Amino acid sequence: MPDPRHDAGRGRRHADDAGRRSRRRRRLAAAGAAALPLVLAGCKLPTFYGYRGRTSQAHDEFLLFAGTVIAAIVVGAITGALILWSVFRYRRRSDAIPRQFQYHIPLEIFYTAVPIVIVLVLFGFTVYTENKVDNIAPNPAVTVKVTAFQWGWRFDYTNQHVFVTGVREDNPDPVGLGGKTCVASAPTPNDCLGPALVLPTRETVRIVLVSNDVVHGFYVPQFNFNRYALPGHTNRFDFNISHSGIYRGQCNQLCGLYHSQMFFHVVALPPAQFDAWVTGTQPQPDNASLGSTGASTTGASTTGASTTGASTTGTSTTGTSTTGTSTTGASTTGTSTTGTSTTGTSTTGTSTTGTAPPTATTSS
């Protein structure tokens, strides 16, 4: 809202009518600025092929996205219409030479100033949204340390001494919604590829993201969010998930041979179910998890943070070692996109190989 004192000050300094005009303009701008979020907040907005977002951050992003698309369509339509109009209207009709004008200064100033205004408005909304999306709550309910490695993920629930890890398409921990398996409760079986990142809804979840080797990308489309997993640098961000569900995720930053298959998925459970899942996992010592029990990779890390390093190194070295054989093996295993767990054949010896059954049932 315009500050009245400020307004008065300006009125004194300027000629009367100018002041009135600027005040009117400012009031208009203020009205526009106030109206836009209102318009946007109404969930009647078309999605423009984007996701409305399953976290509060994602929803904020969606509003910005939709608003920007609308602005872009307006600007694009006007400019495009001008282009097409001149193209059709001024087709050559005779050999006459048209008037050789070159400048129209007021017009040029106009079409420089208008984009500046548009861009600054967009910048304002950007900063507003950005601050909400990037905001870090002081004490999140759950903190998950996500470690990306070639080519899989490890999710450490640092306070609960639990972790989940898995490589590529393999889903070692078939937890889904409402006590069912992931495949049974997800929209399509392929939403369940890769290890599960189980998170509670309606609470603040802190993700602490690092990489063990190269740069990876932590990307959940329905959260409208991705962030690099960098080696040597820790990224932190929060999610406030609004709907329980299963949301596919995937590495989106090129990380080597199996980048195409570096899946994971988020299983968002209501808080009570989440607690049951976190506390209900059978604690298992790390070396036991190397055996071939069904849920072997959902294990408890005996000493929290310290084992993280040990066990993920174990996994990632196996990951790297597949590079040697991969060029030949890759093409055949790599093409299994139907949710079958053929990955088992190439990721030899990792703790994740024992988990074929749950995904095997999903082949469509």
Site residues for other proteins, 43-72, by CB under 8 A, read 48-51, 58, 60-61, 64-65, 68-69, 72
Which one of Cu ion, other proteins, none is in contact with 188 (Cβ closer than 5 to 8 A by kind)? other proteins
Q: Which is nearer to other proteins, 192 or 300 (CB)?
A: 192
Which one of other proteins, Cu ion, none is in contact with 239 (Cβ closer than 5 to 8 A by kind)? none
Alpha-carbon gap, residue 297 to 350, rounded angstroms: 9
Residues 2 and 30 sit within 8 Å (Cβ to Cβ) = yes
Angle 16-41/56-89 helices, nearest 10 degrees?
120
Q: Which of residues 203-222 bind other proteins (CB under 8 A)?
A: 213-215, 217, 219, 221-222
Virtual CA dihedral for 330, 335, 337, 341, nearest 10 degrees? Answer: -50
Q: Which is nearer to Cu ion, 145 or 216 (CB)?
A: 216
Residues 349 and 182 sit within 8 Å (Cβ to Cβ) = no
Q: Which of residues 258-317 bind Cu ion (CB under 5 A)?
A: 259, 262
Provide the 3-class DSSP secondary structure of residue 100: coil
Which one of Cu ion, other proteins, none is in contact with 44 (Cβ closer than 5 to 8 A by kind)? none
**Minimal distance, residue 354 CB to other proteins, in Å:** 23
Q: Which of residues 236-265 bind Cu ion (CB under 5 A)?
A: 251, 255, 259, 262
Regarding 108 and contact with other proteins (CB under 8 A), the answer is yes
Which one of Cu ion, other proteins, none is in contact with 303 (Cβ closer than 5 to 8 A by kind)? none
The full length of the chain comes to 364
**Minimal distance, residue 166 CB to other proteins, in Å:** 16
Give the pairing of strands 196-200 and 263-269.
parallel
How many residues contact other proteins, by CB under 8 A? 102
Q: Which is nearer to Cu ion, 255 or 300 (CB)?
A: 255
Cβ neighbours around 22 below 10 Å, total: 14
- Give me the amino acid identity at 168: R
Half-sphere exposure for 19 (CA within 13 Å, toward CB) = 12
Cβ neighbours around 4 below 10 Å, total: 8
Q: Which of residues 201-220 bind Cu ion (CB under 5 A)?
A: 216
Residues that bind Cu ion (CB under 5 A): 216, 251, 255, 259, 262
